[in-house]
Structure 1
Amino acid sequence: MSVEAVQSSLRVVLTDLNTDVVEAWRAAFADTPGIEIRNGSILDEDVDAWVTPTNSKGLMDGGVDAVIKRHLGAGIQLRVQRAIRDRFAGSLPVGSAVCVRSGAVKPRFLISTPTMESSSENVSETLNVALACAAAFQAVHQQNREEPGSIRSVALVGMGARTGRVPARVCANLMWTGHTLFQDFRFEDYEHLRGTIVAQLEDIENAPAESRVRIAPPESPSCRR
């Protein structure tokens, strides 16, 4: 199956224990087809990949990270940190992600994407949620480019809504931005993805909380529809 086919048919599950986040998703994604929204634990989702919000060092010591590490075993943190060391010289920038084998049958993959540089950082007044969500989907693109059809379904939680203290409605709208960017475009590298998002969302703090922003990247060899 081609990257484009997987992109259009990817099953996306949004799941969280926070009912405010779930209701905010229902509002933000109301007109977005192909999204499943649930009030529950990501551990219950039978998908090919789980997405976990992390920190730049891949220390899975809090929030969803810690829950997943307890479930999959301590080895998952070692795999995440090895990937960060090998691909990003030991520090994963916000707006980047790593995809590693989970060691389990379901999910087969774990995608780690930082919403913050260090643990328990307040990111409520940043673009980090949009950057992290877009990076997670970029990781899906890259994995499917390397192994076509290897990720056909993915589950995400409310990024930054707990540890990062991002308001539920803001979290949902920024995740909508990240998802629509995945549907519309794919990038060859994370640097161009980050630059595109920051350039178009830098004044979003002046917009109403219910605002959604659809990014339209300029034509570039490193950005394709």
Structure 2
Amino acid sequence: MTLDREKPLLRVVLTDVNANVVQAWRAAFADTPEVEIHKGSILTRPADAWVSPTNSRGRMDGGVDAVVKRHLGAGIQLRVQRAIRDQFGAAMPVGSAVCVPSGATNPRFLISTPTMEQSAQDVSETLNVALACAAAFQAIHTQNEREPGSIASVALVGMGAATGRVPARVCANLMWTGYTLFNDYHFRDYDDLRRTIRTQLDDIDSRPEEERVRVTVPTVAGARRSRG
């Protein structure tokens, strides 16, 4: 894990057709004005990367995944599933992500991160939204290390708030947790990311629904400064 002492130069856009999610974002991200919030389809938002919540096998057969697949073409699912096989084997764990070329100019990349293991799974009682959001930003770190500056902007939807049945306020707060973690840390790998989030948020069920939780990771000796 590396400590980010400088804020990453990344334009972050949150956009969703669900007015309740948008309202919840405005409350959760009230003290992060650099994050843009809009009501509307992700298809209308120019960005270097779109984040599409998916299932562990990358089957883009429902929710935003299906919308993105129709927009970008069937080949995008093949690229996502090939990346999953290459990096994770049969299935991608929640709390990890793949970043693939989209084949389009907008966006140039699609980041797929599972909020659930199977399609249309109820994840309302899990930490999956925080894990998925943090993993998406980790994928941006990794892509920008591989090709510096290749992702300077990203658009995200309300993760798990539709098919995953996560309440809008919970979704917004957990996405805030994932975003602030991106601003602070770059993890060695997804195992490190998952372990950290699960340890820190283990008691989240006992906290008020409206409470946001910022993950605080112990400083690692010799950690280098990350450029985001």
The residue identity in structure 2 corresponding to 1:63 is G
Distance 2:54 2:223 in 1: 26
Ranges of 4+ aligned residues in structure 1 off by more than 2 Å = 4-8, 219-225
Distance 2:211 2:224 in 1: 26
Q: Which residue of 2 aligns with 1:141?
A: 141
Deviations, residues 38-76 of structure 1 (Å, cap 9, x unaligned): 000000010000000000000000000000000000000
Higher relative contact order (CA 8 A, sep 6+): 2
CA contact (8 A) 1:10 1:152 kept: yes
Deviations, residues 147-199 of structure 1 (Å, cap 9, x unaligned): 00000000000000000000000000000000000001111200000000000
Aligned-residue identity in percent? 71
Is the counterpart of residue 38 in structure 1 residue 38 in structure 2? yes
Give the structure-2-normalised TM-score: 0.94
- TM-fit CA distance, 1:218: 1.6
- TM-fit CA distance, 1:9: 1.8
CA contact (8 A) 1:55 1:119 kept: yes
Between structures 1 and 2, the one with greater helix share: 1
Is the counterpart of residue 132 in structure 1 residue 132 in structure 2? yes
- The 3-state SS of whatever aligns with 1:188 is coil
Distance 2:49 2:12 in 1: 10
CA contact (8 A) 1:131 1:197 kept: yes
CA contact (8 A) 1:6 1:152 kept: no
CA RMSD of aligned residues (A): 1.6
**Which runs of structure 2 are paired with 1:92-103 in the superposition (5 Å)?**
92-103=92-103
Distance change >3 Å, CA 200–CA 103, structure 1 → 2: same
Distance change >3 Å, CA 86–CA 151, structure 1 → 2: same
Distance 1:8 1:151 in 2: 11
Distance 2:222 2:135 in 1: 15
Deviations, residues 59-97 of structure 1 (Å, cap 9, x unaligned): 000000000000000000000000000000121000000
- Consecutive unaligned residues of structure 1, counting only runs of 5 or more, are none
- TM-fit CA distance, 1:224: 5.8
Distance 1:35 1:123 in 2: 25
The residue identity in structure 2 corresponding to 1:135 is A
- Consecutive unaligned residues of structure 2, counting only runs of 5 or more, are none
Distance 1:198 1:223 in 2: 22
CA contact (8 A) 1:96 1:113 kept: yes
CA contact (8 A) 2:5 2:184 kept: no
Q: Which residue of 2 aligns with 1:123?
A: 123
CA contact (8 A) 1:192 1:222 kept: no
CA contact (8 A) 1:81 1:90 kept: no
Distance 1:111 1:165 in 2: 21
Deviations, residues 9-48 of structure 1 (Å, cap 9, x unaligned): 2000000000000000000000013100000000001000
Distance 2:224 2:9 in 1: 18
Q: Which residue of 2 aligns with 1:80?
A: 80
Q: Which residue of 2 aligns with 1:193?
A: 193
